[in-house]
Amino acid sequence: MTASMIVTPTGVLKRVRRSVNELAESWPARFTIMVFSALILVFTGLLMLPIASADGTVTPLVNALFTAVSAVCVTGLTVVDMATHWSMFGNIVIMLGIQVGGVGVLTVASLLGLVVSRRLGLKQRLLAASDTNPMRAHHGPVSESQTVGLGDIGGLLSAVVFSVLVIEGTLTLLILPRLLILGEDLLTALWHSFYFAASAFTNTGFVPTAAGMDPFATDVYMLTVLGVGVFLGSIGFPVIFALYRFARMRGWRKPRRLPLHTKLTLLTTSILIVAGAAAIFGLEWDNGDTLGEQTLGQRLMTSLFMSTMTRSGGLATLDIDQMNGSTLLIMDMLMFVGGGSASTAGGIKVTTLAVLFLAAFAEARGYQDIQAFERRIPTEVLRVAVSVVLWAATIIATSSIILLHMTKAPLDHVLFDVISAFGTCGLSTGLTESLPDGGKYVLAATMWAGRVGTVTLAAGVAASTRAQFFRRPEERPIVG
Amino acid sequence: MTASMIVTPTGVLKRVRRSVNELAESWPARFTIMVFSALILVFTGLLMLPIASADGTVTPLVNALFTAVSAVCVTGLTVVDMATHWSMFGNIVIMLGIQVGGVGVLTVASLLGLVVSRRLGLKQRLLAASDTNPMRAHHGPVSESQTVGLGDIGGLLSAVVFSVLVIEGTLTLLILPRLLILGEDLLTALWHSFYFAASAFTNTGFVPTAAGMDPFATDVYMLTVLGVGVFLGSIGFPVIFALYRFARMRGWRKPRRLPLHTKLTLLTTSILIVAGAAAIFGLEWDNGDTLGEQTLGQRLMTSLFMSTMTRSGGLATLDIDQMNGSTLLIMDMLMFVGGGSASTAGGIKVTTLAVLFLAAFAEARGYQDIQAFERRIPTEVLRVAVSVVLWAATIIATSSIILLHMTKAPLDHVLFDVISAFGTCGLSTGLTESLPDGGKYVLAATMWAGRVGTVTLAAGVAASTRAQFFRRPEERPIVG
Ligand SMILES: [K+]
Ligand SMILES: [K+]
């Protein structure tokens, strides 16, 4: 009898962890897709139970599935009134879906990122070994720990759970007094605060109260708290963790610099938030149905809040339906990009956009390498970025064409809701609610493809790099 | 006194050619942009002359400029009635603009492609020399002549002029009897035939007759001739020339295989034309205002013709305005891609799309190299492709946002006309005609950016590759 066969809690945990590791390492992409799809089916089943609806009836499959997908994919699009349709049981199921979907994704994605970076790290070392460039030898392969900033998957899991508890807990405590002031009793206020906190940090965008965001439309405190929650969720766990390590570690454990991923994510996110806010501010300035009646300060705050929400928070203090077509197109682009990698946000991810622009910049300057922050980004990363964008464009185009043909709705509304679904943003022109059942299924599939697609594409695809024993002769087609 | 200073026609020609070569090689991108912009200004001036309009008045600057841009960029969008507004002088100016713009672009683009491939060829040789992969040595660098299929710029120019004369001449002769049957007198029919031929081959899409395409809406013969003309123009000169060499050369001069560029262009173009036709056929099948009233054969033919026109021919036998939103989105995507590189067509180019998908495919299969037709496509080509797409997306987004804000027109019409302008396609929902002057300038700028942008981007950017004496340490951001 060996030590590992003794059944102790620690022993079981270790073995479970080992199995999960093995499964994740052998089939990372399929593993995520499997977990996701299974989760969605379980939550659909739970939401269809009579006990889940406020009036004790069976919620139709299409609405239960849509809500389950919207929760597990942390999208926040709705086809029923979230504040009144569900019972407490239903709400707890949804909350569970959000946490498992949002945080679970975050975990699995980080885990995949780690696995991938390990493999790529290996491949990189192999490549580096055959690299005879003398300049190259001074640097040597870079430790993959720079990518995620963590040494092992167990530590990663613990760190995720810990940071979620801390962040959601803090947000809950910050929101609580605001809801008490609004006149809610302590228990209700606590539940709603937690719901708001989880909805913000997981970038879901469900609102638990019947009045929606209206009471807070010009509330600096509440919008700031929610905005920060969404921001923290959207930059992604690897970034949060890197920032934490950088800020707290001392002595030899303190990293000398922030990882490239962290810098790229923060810079690109900041640029998008500021530019988005400026565009919304400028284009909606004189729109009487949106910003037109607000004070200057309110206009600035609303623009900044709405811009942050396109990262993929999805809470809205303006009527999307009343916005100008130009603003909708700007928001389409912002939602398309979404948030950070391995985050609760969706979209193609800010680093994907950054890598594409860095590649174009490198080309324009005639650099041999794609570079950023004095680091070289390998070409495989560009290929992954291109794959992700093509995937996104294909899904969005297909979904839009089907919905356009099905509903004959105007393109700006269809495109907005489809990109919002793909980027799991959850903002809506109102089209989603009015879709026929077929359209709801299409949009649910779009959310699913958006959530599992980009993440597993980035991870699973690259993980299967195979050795090639000969290379084809080179030939260049003319492009452009 | 040296031989080169003797002033003979041949001597002058040689010296001009040498100067042009030198200018083109030293500043290929700026050279093209300069030539283009100068041409547009000259043609604008000519079109503003009273003698250029049918009623002998001065055409307003905005309309003259728009028409000049539309002609020189071979776009075919119109803000005045092309069949009645211009005098014979005006028409000849426009015809000259089309030929110089379409064929000149074709030439300059090919020339740039050659220059670039030469430089890249050099760089490639340098890289190959430092490549210690033993498998690589079996192949050696591939001659750049594979790319364009020509040895020198002079030969290229002659070949372009020759093939244009032959193709446009043949098309003219094929169209002539059809117009005579329509009842036109010989001279008018000759002029109109030539106009149609040039308009088709240069992918312009202007129609010389007041009735427009209506008389030929279900005319198999005319649509086939025009379709083939547009197709030949859109695949690009390097492809035409490679096909010609492959078909005509005998013995040692016959190439053993078609260049990769040719295969990629023909395959992608064919896929797009067939898939586009299928989509138009399926989506417009029961639309009473477009295909609904046609016979099955007519529906098939119209779908195929309209799909071919998105390459960027721009002739329309259907009322774009009456098409479904879903079909418009499909056509948006087709026009965005456009035709072949170094052709009279616009868009990001079919090879650009192909390279992006090949990169994603290589990533999905875990290949180290981007491959097609048993050839390896170097990574720089992917970077150029990404640059071109980013440029296209940026221009189209900017132009759309401005026009949306300016006109408050629906997104599907704005997007369609903007992509049509950028891709120099010339199909229109009717929005272009109704634009205020500001909007016309925006659209003219979009055409200009679409025509010079992608071509010079692809050429100019890559031409300035600089040696790097050290490489940064590598670090991978997570994307997707
Ligand atoms: K969301
Ligand atoms: K055209």
Domain membership flag for residue A215: yes
Q: pLDDT of chain A along its 480 residues, tens only?
A: 444 444 566 666 677 666 666 655 555 566 677 778 888 999 999 999 999 999 989 999 999 999 999 999 889 899 998 888 999 999 999 999 998 888 776 666 666 665 555 544 433 433 333 333 333 222 333 333 333 333 455 666 777 788 888 999 999 999 999 999 988 899 999 999 999 999 999 898 888 888 888 888 888 999 999 999 999 989 988 788 888 878 877 766 666 788 888 999 999 999 999 999 999 999 998 888 888 888 888 999 999 999 999 988 888 888 899 999 999 999 999 999 999 887 888 899 999 999 999 998 888 777 778 888 888 888 888 988 998 999 999 999 999 999 999 999 999 999 999 999 999 998 999 999 899 999 999 999 999 998 887 766 655 544 445 555 667 777 767 776
Q: Domain for residue A25, yes or no?
A: yes
Q: Spell out the long-range contacts of B256-262 with Cβ–Cβ below 8 A and sequence spacing 24 or more.
A: B259/A475, B259/B146, B259/B147, B259/B149, B260/A475, B260/A476, B260/A477, B260/B146, B260/B372, B260/B373, B260/B375, B260/B377, B261/A475, B261/A476, B261/A477, B261/A478, B261/B146, B261/B147, B261/B341, B261/B351, B262/B238
At B345 the pLDDT is: 86
For residues B128-134, average pLDDT: 31
Domain coverage including residue B333: 8-131+148-463
B354/A381 Cα distance (integer angstroms): 19
CB contact set of B406 (below 8 Å; sequence gap of 6+): B436, B438, B439, B442
Tell me whether residue A7 is in a domain: no
A480 closest CB neighbour out of B349, B362, B480? B349
Q: Are A399 and A421 in contact (CB under 8 A)?
A: yes
Q: Is the pLDDT of residue B129 over 60?
A: no
Q: Are B104 and B164 a contacting pair, CB within 8 Å?
A: no
CA of A89 to the centre of ligand 1 (A): 22
The pLDDT tens digits for B280-311 are 999 998 888 888 888 888 999 999 999 999 98
Specify whether the backbone of B59 is left (phi greater than 0), alpha (psi in -120 to 50) or beta: beta
Give the C-alpha separation, A447 to A77, whole Å.
9
Q: Which amino acid would we find at residue A108? A: V
Per-residue confidence (pLDDT) for residue B127, from 0 to 100: 38
Helix (H) or strand (E) holding B398: helix B379-407
Q: What CA–CA distances, in Å, run from A392 to A11, A352, A381, A455?
A: 42, 12, 17, 11
Q: Which ligand is nearest to the CA of A423?
A: 1
Query: Taking CB atoms and an 8 Å limit, are B475 and A375 in contact across chains?
Result: yes
- The minimum CA-CA distance between B476 and chain A, rounded to whole Å, is 6
Q: Is residue B139 part of a domain?
A: no
Query: How close A344 comes to chain B (CA, Å)?
Result: 12
Taking all residues of chain B, what is their mean pLDDT, rounded to a whole number? 81
For residue A2, what pLDDT is reported? Answer: 45
What's the confidence (pLDDT) of residue B392? 93
pLDDT bracket for residue B386 (50, 70, 90): very high
Q: Please count the other Cβ atoms lying within 10 Å of the Cβ belonging to residue A162.
A: 11
* Choice among A101-110, B203-212, B325-334 with the minimum mean pLDDT: A101-110
Neighbouring CB atoms inside 10 A of A56's CB total: 10
Distance from the Cα of B243 to chain A's closest Cα (Å) equals 15
For every residue of A388-449, DSSP letters joined together read HHHHHHHHHHHHHHHHHHHH---HHHHHHHHHHHHTT-----STGGG--HHHHHHHHHHHHH
Report the alpha-carbon distance of residue A451 to residue A203 in Å, rounded. Answer: 12
- Residue A467 pLDDT: 55
Position A425 in a domain: yes
Length, in residues, of chain B: 480
Read off the pLDDT of residues B227-260 as tens digits, 9 standing for 90 and up: 999 999 899 887 888 888 788 777 666 667 888 8
Chain B CB contacts of A355 below 8 Å: 477, 479
Q: What is the pLDDT of residue A217?
A: 85
Mean pLDDT on B192-213: 89
CA B419 to chain centre: 13
Taking only Cα atoms into account, the Rg of chain B, rounded to an integer number of angstroms, comes to 23
* C-beta atoms of A325 and B457 within 8 A: no
Between strands A370-372 and A375-377, the pairing is: antiparallel
Contact A397, A360 (CB under 8 A): no
Chain B residues near residue A267 by CB distance under 8 angstroms: none
B259 contact residues in A (CB cutoff 8 A): 475
Residue B35 falls inside a structural domain: yes
Q: What is the reported pLDDT for B213? A: 87
The reported pLDDT for the residue numbered A398 is 95
CA of A148 to the centre of ligand 2 (A): 49
Number of domains in chain A: 1
Whether ipTM > 0.90 holds is: no
Distance separating alpha carbons of residues A136 and B418, to the nearest angstrom: 46
Residue B480 resides in a domain: no
Alpha-carbon distance B52 to B93, whole Å?
A: 8
Per-residue pLDDT band for B154 (boundaries 50, 70, 90) equals low
- What token pair was written down for B126? 């340098």
A142 located within any domain: no
Instruction: Give residue B100's identity as a one-letter amino acid code.
Output: V
- Given this model, what pLDDT does residue A237 score? 81
